[in-house]
Structure 1
């Protein structure tokens, strides 16, 4: 695993087949998204074809994500955050759950 890849065990059972799709070359829906993972520079503007997976709204899960990526929890509990697809094991085929 490189410095920018972290496991997300809570999502290991999800598949990319269930992700919604945007037209090729479109950054519809993610223009303001940026990856919250330390040292990652992906945004919806510079990486319009990447998926940005929402960090859970549940505070306990959100704090766990911060712990897993070794980032201090220094944001408001209501801040919307995203992790780009680069930090998920593609072989696991993940999906976004809209229950946050």
Structure 2
């Protein structure tokens, strides 16, 4: 879903965006895994660096998900407006037909 969010923000070059999104997600998983496995051996500076990287990647993922949800919401609202317009047109047509009877 986060890659869909990236695609909704940057829709110009889909293959590049998909590979970048996959790279970020895989990098986040590998960073957390490495940090967990080598927690005792790493210095505070290295731990802080890894935590910062994971935080930034998680923040980017959150933005991607918000973009995806925003895009879905806009499509739903647009669809609802179209349906509402059709209902109003049918209501007007009904009143015209009733007046002709």
Q: Which has the higher strand share?
A: 1
Q: Report TM bin, short chain.
A: under 0.3
- TM-score, normalized by length of structure 2? 0.21
Higher helix share: 2
- Point out the structure with max Rg over C-alpha: 2
TM-score for the superposition, normalised by structure 1: 0.21
